[in-house]
Structure 1
Amino acid sequence: MIGAGMGAMAAAARLAVAGHSVAVYERAETYGGAVGRFERDGFAFDTGPGLLHLPAVWRDLFVKTGREPLERCVELVEVDPASRHLFADGAEALLPNASRAGTVAALDAGLGAGAGERWGALLNRARDAWERTRRPLLEEPLPADLSPLARDPYPAPRTGLLRRSAATLAEVGRRELGDPRLAALLEWYALSYGFDPVSAPASATVLPYMEQTFGSWYVAGGLRALADAVYERCRARRVEFAFGTGVAEVVEKDGRAAGVVLGDGRVVDADHVVAGAPLPALYRQRVVGRSGPEACPRHQRGVPTGRVTVHLALRGARDGGAAHRTVVHSPDPAGERAALAGGTLCVRPTVTVLRPGDARLVPDADHEGVTLTATVAAGDDDGPSGGPWGDRAAVEGFAEAMVSAAEAAVPGLRERLLWRQVRTPADTFRETGSHRVPGPALAGARGALLPAANPAPLPGLYFVGGWAHPGGGPAHAGMSGALVAGLITEGADFRGSR
């Protein structure tokens, strides 16, 4: 196993239970991949995702790898309200968790009568797209014939002048929602998953459908606590881990993968090799292929995106009534889209503010930790700097704009601020080998947003994790582990999760 990310560990635990001896080689000194942790002065922050969606994926893992269910290993807390949205005109919408009727009522109350109905109608069409693609895009191996998934499953409205299907998510928002604030809400879901709304297909409407149908959850202690639990489950199933141990090359023998060469030159034989590290880095470094990075089987359509994250250490207790997640929408969405397309940093981005209110993450009850995130153009992985990240003044200016936006969500923020820690796509590149954050698989876009298939071109080699089918995010990475374990244990007869 190359890498100890969430998808790789999910595969490792399942394979160990199936009777395989599993060894994991991770070049970093810890596990979890993108689900990392930053600690300072008694504060702790998730450096990757902050919320969990589709927890059933991880419940399935724990049920099938032992008698101890997920909820005995981590505490899952339903996030309600799911999100608070603040718009530039002063409007506010407080969206409940996993309640269609509640969401309709909240949008009507915050944005005016009819807003909820239009949003609900859009989600009904998104449900059609979800039901058409859920199994092939989440629960089954990618089929050999990708042409059905290359077509966008999002249906056109059935009435009026809108019977022609929208080509992109941004077009869906303009044509079908009738309110720039609703359009901004829709585009935020795409941005939060790492997609440029201008180029993302209309099928990206499944992202808000998924969250608002199945809910948002917080893992007590931060999402890193889930990584801890998965690691401990692997250890309990006798998976072996070697940290600080990189893999230099996959060994090929008789036309199939037969082991790996470690960074120190040692050769480890294996019946199967599972690569869980980011594919751009593996291809660029010739670990899994002798050709250059252009051979990497996944290329993101549109603007490659990453994230700027600002961790804030605050004095003073968290307001007990504060929303866990607040989205402060940009007053200039057109400028934000232009900056994203041009690979620059906008003046005032849309900022997601996470205030978990978790005593495990702060030194005491008189302090609060807050995380801000904004989606940005990630830059070229093969370039010298991958965007503006070498310009410290530009980065600090952008972080300052994020903090200014967050003041609307956290009253008195600047007076309470002790320190801040800024993370950019350059940090992502240093840790993973790519500036980008992969999103989940989406149908449409001529197949450009379908990740690499789990079986690699070289027999005996498999891809797992966010850069492989079914794509990025904790739930999708966990599902990739289930798919790879099924392909190895059941072979060509494996038809996916049931």
Structure 2
Amino acid sequence: MARIAVIGAGMGAMAAAARLAVAGHRVAVYERTDTYGGALRRLERDGFAFDTGPGLLPLPAVYRDLFVKTGKEPLDACVDLVQVDPSSHHVFADGTRVSLPNASRAGVVLALQEALGPAAGQRWGDFLVRAREAWARTRRPLLEEPLWPDWRVLADREPYPAVPHRKLLRTRTAGTLAEVGAWELRDPRLVSLLGSYALEHGLDPRSAPASAAVLPYMEHAFGTWYVRGGMRELARAVYERCVARRVEFRFGAEVTGLLEKDGRVAGVEFAEGTSPASGGRAVAEADHVVAGVTPAVLDRLTRGSRVRGDGEVPGRTGAASRLTVLLALRGGRPEGTPHRTVVHTEDREAELDSLTGSPAGLPAHPTVTVLRPDDPALVPDDAHEAVTLTSVVPQGAGPGLEEHAQRMITAAERAVPGLRDRLLRHEVRTPADIAEATGAEGGAVPVPALAAAGGRLLHPSNGTRVPGLFTVGGWSHPGGGLPHAGMSGALVAGLIVEGPEFRGSQ
């Protein structure tokens, strides 16, 4: 039985902790804040409750597998997990609206045919066939296996089978998601739809690789889910599974450094006054350390010592954050209201230019995601509604956020008629709030790992050059997002339990 110290109580860290505890190890989690869940937080006030982090769960199979592998009670016995149908409703710049059904590629194509015309629906259907091929080529190396030592194979090969595009005397294939939209989809509403899947993750479709086509494919193929009571309930369930497996949690314990002995990790040390150990000791010894922190924090913990070998994927700092506006409304949620509506910007190029410029700024016309859960647990009674708006903003964004929140509310009125007349109050959650919850500089949100693009969208491997030290969560392989965090926990547990020969789930 090994002693394992886990730094941070985010979703990936807790997923690793539960799996390691079941394998017979003694696991202690040290979290600098006063609670678990990382970005999965909840704000409660005057009978209203809001998720302040991710509001939906793709690929629930990841967490179902975690619960199957760590106890008798399955995930669905611990949380009320429901499919969101329609998966999303879209309001385009020209006023066109379309609702896309959940986990039905054929249903999505039919919906687009009815809303945008037969040709548009056919093009999206053909695109999904190609996206499925990209998914088949990258699913295992990007999600289910430790990062390949020869990761440049993933970086240099574009897995999306783009359609040749002939212009004048040249024939080219799409290398970016924007080119996929322009050359293969053509309809500006389909282009906006495709781009919204990249923007949701803080990616500019003009520079995101064509392999980002897997993002809409995953949603259409595997569906979108919600946990009743709010997504914070998922964090609660994972935390309780850890406790049931005898994982020890110490909150308010800020790790400030790693201990090394004989060339391998030997434990962690703590900030003055936050020591979790008895007798005032400022260290906790461990045979393995699992760090659920950003690359910058890991550098501080190792005091600049190199933990990545030559030729490894460099740590990503992220480029985008989120602004979240929480709305308490008078009047109940109308029956048949979509859970999620994406209100597309009136000027997509200007929005992307603003977000990716130097210096980056806040767009005048943002794309806004509107979440309106049908969940009595979030409101004081059925005469009120809790609505959450999110928009991508640059990491570290500070000045002008309240004005941007007002622009978001204005955009959301296209999805919620009479919104301002119903508004009791609103509260803004900024990149600074994300930074406080997760430790990510500027509130940066990690992106999921994607192939091609020279490796820009890959993340460092879970193992390090320091024996016994592993990394977990959105800032390491396989990247950001709730499913990816759970997968990183499974990969780290496999590497510790089975050793370097571990090759992932079968």
1:370 aligns with 2:387: yes
> Which of 92, 97, 116 in structure 1 is aligned with 2:97?
92
In 2: Cα distance, 1:454 partner to 1:288 partner? 16
Indicate if the aligned counterparts of 2:143 and 2:484 stay in contact, CA closer than 8 A. yes
CA drift of 1:466 comes to 0.7
After superposition, residues 78-157 of structure 1 pair within 5 angstroms as: 78-150=83-155, 151-157=157-163
> Which of 309, 331, 338 in structure 2 is aligned with 1:316?
331
Indicate if the aligned counterparts of 1:280 and 1:293 stay in contact, CA closer than 8 A. no
> Which of 348, 359, 379 in structure 1 is aligned with 2:365?
348
In 1: Cα distance, 2:391 partner to 2:263 partner? 44
Cα deviation, 1:304-334, whole Å, max 9, x if unaligned, reads 1111110101111101110000000001101
- Look up the match of 1:270: 286
Residue identity matched to 2:502: F
Residue identity matched to 1:346: P
In 1: Cα distance, 2:171 partner to 2:58 partner? 32
CA drift of 1:282 comes to 3.0
Residue identity matched to 1:88: A
In 2: Cα distance, 1:293 partner to 1:62 partner? 32
**Distance 1:363-1:288 versus aligned 2 partners, 3 A rule:** farther
1:402 aligns with 2:408: yes
In 1: Cα distance, 2:471 partner to 2:100 partner? 37
> Which of 249, 252, 266 in structure 2 is aligned with 1:241?
249
> Which of 257, 262, 282 in structure 1 is aligned with 2:298?
282
In 1: Cα distance, 2:97 partner to 2:416 partner? 14
> Which of 196, 213, 224 in structure 1 is aligned with 2:232?
224
Residue identity matched to 1:49: P
- Look up the match of 2:426: 420
CA drift of 1:99 comes to 1.1
TM-score after normalising by structure 2:
0.93
Gaps of 5+ in 2: 1-5, 273-280
SS at match of 2:301: coil
- Look up the match of 2:13: 8
Residue identity matched to 1:275: A
1:24 aligns with 2:29: yes
Residue identity matched to 2:183: R
In 2: Cα distance, 1:110 partner to 1:52 partner? 26
TM-score after normalising by structure 1:
0.94
Indicate if the aligned counterparts of 2:31 and 2:253 stay in contact, CA closer than 8 A. yes
Deviates most, 400-409 or 106-115: 106-115
Q: Share of identical aligned residues, percent?
A: 62
SS at match of 1:443: coil
Cα deviation, 1:97-131, whole Å, max 9, x if unaligned, reads 11112111111111122111111111111111110
- Look up the match of 2:475: 467
Deviates most, 248-257 or 18-27: 248-257
Residue identity matched to 2:479: G
CA drift of 1:364 comes to 1.4
Q: What is the number of residues matched between the two proteins? A: 484
After superposition, residues 158-169 of structure 1 pair within 5 angstroms as: 164-169=172-177
- Look up the match of 2:56: 51
**Distance 1:336-1:159 versus aligned 2 partners, 3 A rule:** closer
In 2: Cα distance, 1:202 partner to 1:71 partner? 35
**Distance 1:13-1:101 versus aligned 2 partners, 3 A rule:** same
CA drift of 1:294 comes to 12
Q: Which runs of 4+ in 1 moved over 2 A?
A: 158-165, 277-283, 291-301
1:331 aligns with 2:346: yes
After superposition, residues 251-266 of structure 1 pair within 5 angstroms as: 251-264=259-272, 266=282
1:201 aligns with 2:218: no
> Which of 186, 190, 199 in structure 1 is aligned with 2:194?
186
Indicate if the aligned counterparts of 2:58 and 2:222 stay in contact, CA closer than 8 A. yes
In 2: Cα distance, 1:360 partner to 1:95 partner? 26
SS at match of 2:302: coil
How large is the RMSD of aligned CA atoms in angstroms? Answer: 1.9
1:433 aligns with 2:449: no
Residue identity matched to 2:63: W
Indicate if the aligned counterparts of 1:25 and 1:245 stay in contact, CA closer than 8 A. yes
**Distance 1:294-1:69 versus aligned 2 partners, 3 A rule:** closer
CA drift of 1:297 comes to 5.7
SS at match of 1:114: helix
- Look up the match of 1:458: 466
Residue identity matched to 1:287: L
In 2: Cα distance, 1:133 partner to 1:487 partner? 20
Gaps of 5+ in 1: 379-385
Cα deviation, 1:432-488, whole Å, max 9, x if unaligned, reads 232210011000011111111000221110000111111111110000000000000
